[in-house]
């Protein structure tokens, strides 16, 4: 255990993360609406020691009822439309919607038209756009922090 903790301490030192004074807090609920899982891998790394997103007041929450931002990946398959809209309905107002990755933004989609809606914007108003295939953890963090700062203004 001590070796692990020392290793983590060293990683923190190498990562050179700084404390910030970003105002407030943003609770994020992620929904996979048909992605290839690469966006999920990168989003999951945001809470790892190299990035540690929680220090900015951002966190991934389990329930849409606790969320302020719904972060959606994938081209929205027809089978995920229902569950996605239920999650959106369950959120308190005011609520934000983020499209994470090229698929969610409707770019370079693969698959048959009958199985997909095509992009998040076809279903919900999108406030935060994060392009990339997949966007790197840094790119996701930058976009989320911008959303946090804009909301605080």
Partner 1 sequence: MTQLQTVAADAWRTQIEAAITQRGERFGGAWVTADRHWRALLVKGADARVISCQAGERVDSIVDLVPAAGWDEREAHDLHALSFDGHDQLRALIEHPTQGERWITPVRGDGVHQVAVGPIHAGVIESGHFRFHVVGERILHLDTRLFYKHRGLEQAAVGSTPQEGLRHAGRACGACAVANSLAYAHAVEDASGLWPSPELRRQRTVLLELERVYNHLNDISAICAGVGYAAGTMAFAAHKDRAQNLNARAFGHRFLFGSVAVGGAARALPAPAAAELRGGLAELRGDVLASWRELEFAGSLHARMDAVGVLPAEAALRLGTVGPAARAAGVAIDARVGERRLEYDALRPAAAPRPDGDVEARFQLRAAELEVSFELLDELLRAPLPASAATRGLRASPVGVGRVESPRGETVCIVELQAGRVGRLHLRSAAYANWPSVAHASAGNLLPDFPLINKSFELCYACCDR
Query: Do residues 140 and 42 touch, judged by C-beta distance below 8 A?
Result: yes
CA distances from 32 to 77, 102, 107 (A): 10, 13, 16
CB count within 10 Å of CB 135 equals 20
CB count within 10 Å of CB 74 equals 26
Residue window 12-41: x/- pattern of binding to partner 1, with contact defined by CB under 8 A: ------------------xxxxxxxxxxxx
Question: Any contact of residue 134 with partner 1 (CB under 8 A)?
Answer: yes
CB 37 to partner 1: min, Å: 5
Query: Do residues 23 and 110 touch, judged by C-beta distance below 8 A?
Result: no
Reported as half-sphere exposure (CB side, CA atoms, 13 A), residue 53 has a value of: 25
In the list 19, 93, 94, 110, the residue contacting partner 1 (rule: CB under 8 A) is 110
Residue window 44-83: x/- pattern of binding to partner 1, with contact defined by CB under 8 A: xx--xxx---------x-xx----------xx-x-xx--x
Residues that bind partner 1 (CB under 8 A): 1, 3-5, 7-8, 11, 30-45, 48-50, 60, 62-63, 74-75, 77, 79-80, 83, 87, 110-112, 114-116, 133-134, 136-137
């Amino acid at each position: 255990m001590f070796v692990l903790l020392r290793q983590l301490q060293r990683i923190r030192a190498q990562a050179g993360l700084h404390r910030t004074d970003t105002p407030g807090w943003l609770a994020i609920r992620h929904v996979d609406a048909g992605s290839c899982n690469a966006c999920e891998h990168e989003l999951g790394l945001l809470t790892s020691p190299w990035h540690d997103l929680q220090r900015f007041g951002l966190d991934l929450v389990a329930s849409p009822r606790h969320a302020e931002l719904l972060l959606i990946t994938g081209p929205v398959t027809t089978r995920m439309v229902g569950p996605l809209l239920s999650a959106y309905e369950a959120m308190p107002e005011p609520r934000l919607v983020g499209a994470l990755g090229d698929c969610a933004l409707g770019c370079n989609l693969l698959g048959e038209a009958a199985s997909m809606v095509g992009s998040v914007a076809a279903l919900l108003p999108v406030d935060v756009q994060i392009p990339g295939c997949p966007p790197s953890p840094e790119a996701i963090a930058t976009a989320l922090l911008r959303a946090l700062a804009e909301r605080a203004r």
